[in-house]
Amino acid sequence: MKKIGLHELYRTNPIEADRVVFGRETNPVSRRGFMKGLGTMASLLGGEVVFAHFMPAGLVPAALAASDDPFEIPGKEGLIVLNDKPLNAETPAHLLDDDVTPASRFFVRNNGLTPHSESLNANTWRLTIDGEAVTKPLELDIATLKKRYAHHSAQLVMECGGNGRAEFFPPARGNQWTTGAVACAQWTGVRLRDVLEDAGVTDEAVYIGYYGADKHLSGDPTKLPISRGVPMAKALEDETLIAWSMNGQDIPVLHGFPLRLAIGGWPASVSGKWLRRIAVRDRIHDGPKMTGQSYRVPCNPVGPGEDVPDEAMCIIESMPVKSLITYPKSGLVLQGNPQLTVRGHAWAGDLSVAGVELSIDFGASWQPASIQPPPNRLAWQRFEGTVKFPKAGYYEVWARATDSAGNGQPTLLPGWNPRGYLNNACHRIAVRVA
């Protein structure tokens, strides 16, 4: 598990480090974020920074210079930071035990730089709906969205397409996610379908593509970090939302404030954050991270390490069936108790979960767990079961889910692919009976 220390963070990107750690802007013209950050800095340093206005940007305070404690994102304590530019962090499995994932435990997946909070004003935000396949382009503010269209809420599983990438061999480049790039929050907003109907979608419509306010890592304003989308059938589903609320609160900045797409069951990269524009296309959307090998897997199975040409790669759509043990935390030591209650979540992309099984003998035998129905389509489902250990020693508890079409998780790794996507191998935790 990789964590980033304070010194490493400042070495790799001191300006972004200042903004993330202290909440301050380095632009001398815009000081509001800097002044907000002084409160955090003062608490860290034990007193007011008297000559703060002289303090160079990107400087590690001398009081902290001897420290290289792992960097934590404010409000995201316990998450494991994989990368700071762009900012990406995953959640340990035992912190995902809530039925509805709180914002503090929702993984962070960015492709570009998070917009500065000063540029994100819900009162002046505008969303444009246009493209080759609409007859009445729209420009809507958030107040109009809330007034004109019916409100809807849904719990939706969002999972990074690369969740589990760290287990593939040969290794695939990209963030080395283990199991924690998944969450299920409740999103509130309006149905994308209702807004598209107002824009007059034509028969030529094939795809939608989103555009957000995040910035390219290069800082070049002419470049986009990501612009993905979904086919019209997915865009028009009841659960596909333009959302302004996460778990009954404004969406946090890291998760797309003030407006984002919330699309469950497919790679989370289709749920564009800081949403500025939706284009209704007369072709498959061709924005950044839609072409080449991004969020694509081989159309046919390939051998580990095999080179696959772009034309032989297919866009990832519905995510595969998967499960996660959220209680107990891996590494538990049981003192004189051969019985253990295990619980977690299971999900299956566009489908539902038909069953979950548990094993304590490395998959040689399985026993059924109980599973609850989802609160709505595309939400994860709670499972629970009790396992009994025959004697003292080391065990692994494995979980295996099966979806409503009969597809089950592989006990170990699924087929290899060049980008390390769609690892839905059984989750396992370690238990020692003393």
Per residue in 81-112, pLDDT (tens digit) is 999 889 999 999 999 999 999 999 999 999 99
User: Is residue 62 over pLDDT 90?
Assistant: no
365 and 411 share one domain: yes
Inside any domain, residue 11: yes
pLDDT tens digits, one per residue of 128-186: 999 999 999 999 999 999 999 999 999 999 999 999 999 999 999 999 999 999 999 99
Mean pLDDT within 27-33: 40
Other C-beta atoms within 10 Å of 185: how many? 24
Q: Which residue range is the domain that position 21 belongs to?
A: 6-71
Which residues are registered as beta bridge partners of 261?
242
pLDDT tens digits, one per residue of 10-28: 555 666 666 655 554 444 3
350 and 295 share one domain: no
Q: How confident is the model at residue 42 (pLDDT cuts 50, 70, 90)?
A: very low
Mean pLDDT within 229-233: 98
Please report the pLDDT score of residue 112 as a whole number: 96
Percent with pLDDT over 70 in the chain: 84
Inside any domain, residue 89: no
Strands (E), 352-410: 353-359, 367-371, 381-388, 393-403
347 and 283 share one domain: no
349 and 306 share one domain: no
40 and 143 share one domain: no
311 and 326 share one domain: no
Inside any domain, residue 309: yes
129 and 198 share one domain: yes
Which string of DSSP letters, residue by residue, matches 163-225?
TTGGG-SS--SS----S-SEEEEEEEEEEHHHHHHHTTB-TT--EEEEEES-B-TT--TT--S
Inside any domain, residue 205: yes
Q: How confident is the model at residue 73 (pLDDT cuts 50, 70, 90)?
A: confident
Q: Which of 294, 315, 336 is the last residue of a domain?
A: 315
pLDDT tens digits, one per residue of 109-118: 999 999 998 9
User: Is residue 285 over pLDDT 60?
Assistant: yes
Inside any domain, residue 110: no
Q: Record the tokens describing residue 112, joined without a space.
A: 């570009």
Inside any domain, residue 187: yes
- Tell me the average pLDDT of the chain: 89
User: Is residue 338 over pLDDT 50?
Assistant: yes
311 and 332 share one domain: no
Please report the pLDDT score of residue 68 as a whole number: 43
Inside any domain, residue 225: yes
Asked whether 208 and 191 are in contact (CB, 8 A), the reply is no
Question: Is the pLDDT higher at 49 or at 137?
Answer: 137
Which residues are registered as beta bridge partners of 277?
128, 211
Q: How confident is the model at residue 336 (pLDDT cuts 50, 70, 90)?
A: confident
Please report the pLDDT score of residue 13 as a whole number: 63
Q: How far apart are the first and last CA of the chain?
A: 27
402 and 425 share one domain: yes
pTM across the whole model: 0.84
331 and 208 share one domain: no
338 and 233 share one domain: no
Q: Which of 259, 290, 315 is the last residue of a domain?
A: 315
380 and 308 share one domain: no
Beta strands 322-327 and 339-347 are antiparallel
Based on the structure, what is the number of domains in the chain?
A: 3
The C-alpha atoms of residue 276 and residue 280 are separated, in whole angstroms, by 14
Q: Which of 281, 297, 315 is the last residue of a domain?
A: 315
Q: What is the CATH number of the domain that holds 293?
A: 3.90.420.10
Question: Is the pLDDT higher at 203 or at 33?
Answer: 203
Inside any domain, residue 215: yes
Which string of DSSP letters, residue by residue, matches 123-145?
TT-EEEEESTTBSS-EEEEHHHH
Reported as half-sphere exposure (CB side, CA atoms, 13 A), residue 329 has a value of 6
